[in-house]
Amino acid sequence: MTSLPKGRDMVSEGSQPHFSTLLIEGFAARDKHVPSGKRQIVSIHVPGDFVDLHSFLLKEMDHSVVAFTDCRMALVPHDRLRDITERYPNLTRLLWFSTLIDASIHREWLLGMGRRKAFANVAHLICELYIRLRVMGLTRDWRFDLPLTQQELADTTGLSIVHFNRALQDLRSRHLLTWEAGVVTITDWPGLVRRGEFDPDYLQLNMDDLAPA
C-alpha cells in the first residue's frame, strides 16, 4: 500500500511502468495533451478502480495518471499479473472485463462530446459519477464528495472553464443539484437524468447492486 499527494503523477505519459495501480482511496484521472498545451481528461477514477491495468499489455503509456486528491493505492507488479493470466483464467477474465468497462465509458464520453450539448454532457457526467460512487458505497443519500475544480471538470467534458460554469448554472437554476464546498447534492434525480440523457446500461452494472444508497 503506497500513497501519493494531491497533484502528483501516478504514472507519466510515455513511461513503461512495471506495475499497475489499484486505487484504494482518493480521486485520480488520466489525461492527454495537445501540442498547444490544452488538456483533455479521458477518464476519472474513484476508489476501487484499476487506473492503469492496460499498462500491463501496452508497451508505453499513451497518457498520464494524476492524483486529484491525496490517494492511497495498491501496486500490482506486472510479473504478478502475468502469473495470474497463466494460472487463473477466471481472474484474468475479470481483469480484462474491467478494462472493457473503461472502454465502454470512453465510448459514452465520445457520444457526449460529439453529439450532446454542453449542459447535457455535464449532467451526464454528474449522473455517471453518482452511480459509480454509489456502487462503491461512497454516497450518502443523494450526496457525494466531488473534490475536483471546475477547470478539471471542464477538461473532462471538453469545454472551456467559463462554459462549463454556465452549463452548471443551467443545472442549478433548474434545481437539479447543488454543489458547495466540494459536495454535490442531487435534488432531482429524474430531472438530471432527463437533462443528461443518462442511461446507465453502458456501465454494465448489475442493477441488483443498486439497492438503496
Q: Which does 160 bind (CB under 5 to 8 A by kind): its own copies, DNA, none?
A: DNA
Q: Which amino acid is at 69?
A: T
Q: Which of 149, 194, 204, 210 binds DNA (CB under 7 A)?
A: 149
DSSP string, 146-197: ----HHHHHHHHT--HHHHHHHHHHHHHTTSEEEETTEEEES-HHHHHHHHT
Using CB under 7 A as the binding rule, whether residue 162 contacts DNA is answered as: yes
97 vs 178, beta carbon nearer its own copies: 97
Backbone angles phi, psi at 17, to 5 degrees: -65, 155
Using CB under 8 A as the binding rule, whether residue 165 contacts its own copies is answered as: no
- Cross-strand bridge partners of residue 75: 21
Give the nearest distance from C-beta 162 to its own copies in angstroms. 15
The residue count for the chain: 213
Using CB under 8 A as the binding rule, whether residue 40 contacts its own copies is answered as: yes
Q: What's the rounded Cα separation, in Å, for the pair 140 and 25?
A: 17
Q: Which of 23, 66, 67, 118 binds DNA (CB under 7 A)?
A: 118
Q: What's the rounded Cα separation, in Å, for the pair 148 and 131?
A: 17
Using CB under 7 A as the binding rule, whether residue 78 contacts DNA is answered as: no
Site track 123-142 with its own copies (rule: CB under 8 A), x = hit:
--------------------
Closest Cα to residue 54, out of 127, 125, 2, 106? Answer: 106
Q: Which does 201 bind (CB under 5 to 8 A by kind): its own copies, DNA, none?
A: its own copies
51-61 residues labelled b (16+ CB within 10 A) or e (exposed): bbbbbbeeeeb
Using CB under 8 A as the binding rule, whether residue 91 contacts its own copies is answered as: no
- Which window, 1-9, 90-98, 138-146, 171-179, contacts its own copies (CB under 8 A)? 90-98
Using CB under 7 A as the binding rule, whether residue 165 contacts DNA is answered as: yes
Q: Classify residue 9 by burial, with Cβ atoms within 10 Å: 0-12, 13-18, 19+.
A: middle
Q: Which of 160, 188, 197, 213 binds DNA (CB under 7 A)?
A: 160
133 vs 168, beta carbon nearer DNA: 168
Contacts of 115 (CB under 8 A, 6+ apart): none
Binding site for its own copies (CB under 8 A): 14, 30, 32-35, 38-40, 42-43, 54, 57-60, 62-63, 85-86, 89, 92-93, 96-97, 99-104, 106-111, 113-116, 155, 157-158, 197, 201-202, 204
